[in-house]
Amino acid sequence: MQAPPPSPLPSPDDPEAALAAVVALRLMADRLESSAVAAALEQGWSWAQIAQALGVSKQAAHKRLAAQVARPTHP
């Protein structure tokens, strides 16, 4: 029987590496979220739709993300 492939994440037994990975993953997730929200707004999504996709309230989504992204302006 073959051993499972190694995990790309560090072991929690190595707190320094594991916590550094947590920080890196949070930064990557934040960047992806901001980019996805900006794209959703550009495609005409409402804050209610974005909130539903993220599993949070409309108010929570807007409060946390509105400053990071700007709605496209139409001349």
pLDDT higher for 74 or 58? 58
What is the rounded distance in angstroms from the CA atom of residue 20 to the CA atom of residue 70?
Answer: 31
pLDDT at 71 over 70: no
Q: Rounded to whole angstroms, how far apart are CA atoms 59 and 75?
A: 28
- Tens digit of each residue's pLDDT (9 = 90 or more) over 52-70: 999 999 999 999 999 988 6
**What's the CA gap between 72 and 75, in Å, rounded?**
10
Q: What is the DSSP letter of 28?
A: H
Residue, of 5 and 25, whose pLDDT is higher: 25
Entry pTM: 0.76
pLDDT grade for 40, boundaries at 50, 70 and 90:
very high
